[in-house]
Structure 1
Amino acid sequence: MIANQFDVFLFDLDGVIYIGNEPLLGAAEGLARLRKENKIIRFLTNDPCTTRSKIVQRLKHMNIEAYEEEIVTSGWTTAQYSKNKNIKKAFVLGNDDLHWELLQAGIEVTDVASCDAVIVGWDSSVTFGEIQKASKLIHQGASFIATNSDKTFPTPKGPMPAVGAMVEAIRIPTGKRPVIVGKPYPSMFQEATKNLDSSLHIVMLGDNPETDILGAHQVGLHAILVGESAKPYPSKKDFRNADAQIYNLSDLFDKEAQLKKWIRPEYPWPESIKPGVAGIVFDEKGRVLLMRRSDNGLWGIPSGHVEPAETVNQAITREIWEETGLEVRVKRLIGVYSEPVSQVFPYPNGKVSHFVTNCFECQIVGGNLNKKHWETLDVQFFNINELPEALLSMHPKWLEDALEQQKISFIR
């Protein structure tokens, strides 16, 4: 049974333990049995409009045993994160509970013209003027921190804006990405497992693949989806696919329940999928053009992204012109590549994108190799048998496919 495979159980609350003020079927009994077997329990919630003590009281009213040190809310975790980052003063868009958690952590909630951080939680009374002030403070150098990034929350009248909506209202004018504390980001999981022995086996149970399952997998934990049957994501490597699915907590003690082993792929989880282009350019001597990337020092085939309203052919000719000074025309398509291990890229601002790359063979039709690049060895032609060792991982495959197509074309 699953219960025997783990020492520590992390539980999402809403949708796993309760809905509203009613405990879900099997929740109280399942938790009581885990405690009887001396399992360690933690409760994690993205709700920034509550405190740990309020969660304890809410659970006790449902006859569920709970202790304040077991509760990890996004508001409390935000306060701990801010304290550890030496935040002294913060401008806060959030309710009284978030203010209280920050004050308990020694952080002054201020409305003055300068502060160390702008902290965004949830408050339905936030005004546009406050959003403008938050944006101005971030422009002046204040850190940007958010309790979570949930864009909506369910109501009887349909989805309503949540914290993520306010975050976007500030992110767009500032161009700054916030540090997001709640699931699926690491901080809540790190707080929940802090001071636990590294030998303990830990599992996360949640009802939301986008936060609970994804978040657990990103920090290397097993993850179980709780609730009705859900359609799996197409790729077996998708971080949002759970290792097991159960209907309620009683199923943790079902001898027939099966758990897959989570093996984390060798790439970070991408936030978006983008079209990319690459161009293999040979000179008259059969040498291939390579560029050295400024971010990691590796050599690679000229590549880039597709701008709005561009065709992929236009994109690669533009990229090569901008980066090398050479005018080229597309000769043929080599292939379309989307291997995540080599084509998922993290950026300095924290964003991670997965590129689907159209790779072309291109022919030089004009221009001159940019002398600035040439003098600094940022761009250079290489003999096929003398390629640099520091080469981007997917690029030898692209070059191999291009050379193979050349052979086939020659034979014909």
Structure 2
Amino acid sequence: MIAAEFDVFLFDLDGVIYLENELLPDVKLSLERLRQMGKIIRFLTNDPRATREQVTQRLRRLGLDVNEQQVYTSGWATIQYIQRRGYSSVFALGTPDFLSEMRSSLQQVRINTDNQPQAVVIGYDDDITMRQVNEAVQYIQQGSDFIATNGDTSFPVSSGRSLATGSLIRAVQAATGRRPVVIGKPSPVMFQIATEDLPANARIVMIGDSPETDILGAHGMGYTGILISEAPVTFPSKYDFRAPDVTIRNLSSLFDPAMTVVPWSKPPFPWPERVEPGVAAVVFNEQGDVLLMKRIDNGLWGIPSGHVEPGETVEEAIKREVMEETGLEVTVERLIGVYSHPASQVFSYPSGDVVQFITLCFLCRVDGGNIRADRKESAEVKFFNPAELPADMLPMHPQWLMDALASDFSAFIR
């Protein structure tokens, strides 16, 4: 049974433990059985509005034997993050309870008093005003760090959906052009804080009702993810981090002798936030040498590559990228291949963006221009004999070059 396969059980709250003010079926008995088996139990919620103590008291009123050390809210995790970063002044938006918990926990930190705080924290409260949001925007524009308790854009209420922290984040991000450090699930920050005192070999499982936060976050950490759902949830790709390792109807299924779960095996790439089109150019000169550039951002050699901009044709994008990166003019001859495998086509950027590219790679020849010094992305540009390539190349580019060499490009050589 699943309960015997793990040492630590991380539970989401709303939709897993309770729904509004009602404990869900089999929750109390299931938690008691896990406790009798010696399992470690912790509760992780992205709701930043209530304090850790308030959530604990709510669970106790529902009849659960819970102590405050088992409860991790995105608000409390944000407070821990602020403390560890050593900030001395913070501008924070959130409920009076969240701000009270922040002040009692961070007595050495000035909160909502400085004209230029070191960090801005966006939480959620129904009474947050546009004036306060604009104040946060201005502080971030002036250099304050940007932190968000969680990224959920909405949450369910009896009349439908209500805006949540993520909606405020998007407004501030659109105005400032800055990405926040997000603390709550699926971010690793909250998981790291909730598990930092556990043994390195602890077998950890996350149980939640959201593929986009609970399962994605667990898989990003390398944990197994179990989804609570009445119906199966599937995704097109076997590599999708949001796909649960098993789906159960309620917590009693953890003790079903017929149910097992295959522990999550993390693929060799981070989860991309989006997919974008890209182009690459394998450029040969008349001697049959291939053009490579050493990238400034990672110090690795590779063939010229980049984005397709709005309104561009693929051919225009290739010519522009080669010109920007090397100073050379090229003629596009023909398609070599289309590449999208995430192991080689997912890139993490210093901004925090994680992007998967679908790259169209073309065979090109030099048609003019000169390698110039005022390049945007390359520290060095050289032609190499294909048999004498540098060892420190981007991992996917040798395959693209091999595919180009397998085609006939003899017409390039004179």
Matched residues in 2 for 1:200 and 1:297: separation? 37
User: Residue 66 of structure 1 aligns with which residue?
Assistant: 66
User: Residue 285 of structure 1 aligns with which residue?
Assistant: 287
- Secondary structure of the equivalent of 2:66? coil
Matched residues in 1 for 2:392 and 2:136: separation? 44
Provide Cα deviations, 1:343-391, integer angstroms capped at 9, x if missing partner.
1111111111111101001122222222566xx9711111111111111
Q: Is the 8 A contact 1:48 1:97 kept in 2?
A: no
User: Residue 155 of structure 2 aligns with which residue?
Assistant: 153
Comparing 175-184 and 58-67, the one that deviates more = 58-67
**Aligned pairs (5 A) from 1:8-407:** 8-106=8-106, 107-370=109-372, 378-406=380-408
Matched residues in 2 for 1:305 and 1:236: separation? 26
Matched residues in 2 for 1:166 and 1:366: separation? 50
Shift in Å at residue 157 of structure 1? Answer: 3.3
Shift in Å at residue 162 of structure 1? Answer: 0.9
Comparing 234-243 and 208-217, the one that deviates more = 234-243
- Secondary structure of the equivalent of 1:406? coil
Matched residues in 1 for 2:5 and 2:88: separation? 43
Q: In angstroms, what is the RMSD of aligned CA positions?
A: 1.7
Moved over 3 A (4+): 407-410
Q: Is the 8 A contact 1:16 1:227 kept in 2?
A: no
Matched residues in 1 for 2:325 and 2:201: separation? 50
Shift in Å at residue 314 of structure 1? Answer: 1.1
Shift in Å at residue 261 of structure 1? Answer: 2.3
Provide Cα deviations, 1:191-225, integer angstroms capped at 9, x if missing partner.
21121222321111001011001111111111111
Unmatched 5+ residue regions in structure 2?
A: none
Matched residues in 2 for 1:193 and 1:156: separation? 34
TM-score, with normalisation over the residues of structure 2? 0.95
TM-score, with normalisation over the residues of structure 1? 0.95
Matched residues in 1 for 2:262 and 2:105: separation? 40
Number of equivalenced pairs: 408
Matched residues in 1 for 2:277 and 2:210: separation? 28
Provide Cα deviations, 1:9-52, integer angstroms capped at 9, x if missing partner.
10000010010000111111111111121211000000001112
Shift in Å at residue 407 of structure 1? Answer: 7.0
Comparing 52-61 and 62-71, the one that deviates more = 52-61
Matched residues in 1 for 2:81 and 2:307: separation? 35
Matched residues in 2 for 1:22 and 1:61: separation? 10
Matched residues in 1 for 2:226 and 2:72: separation? 19
Aligned-partner residue type, residue 345 of structure 2: Q
Task: Give the percent of matched residue pairs that are identical in Structure 1 and Structure 2.
Answer: 51
Shift in Å at residue 404 of structure 1? Answer: 1.5
Q: Is the 8 A contact 2:282 2:401 kept in 1?
A: yes
Matched residues in 1 for 2:139 and 2:316: separation? 41
- Secondary structure of the equivalent of 2:166? helix
**Are residues 377 and 191 of structure 1, via their aligned partners in 2, closer, same or farther at CA, if it must alter by over 3 Å?**
closer
Comparing 203-212 and 154-163, the one that deviates more = 154-163
Unmatched 5+ residue regions in structure 1?
A: none
Aligned-partner residue type, residue 51 of structure 1: T
Aligned-partner residue type, residue 347 of structure 2: F
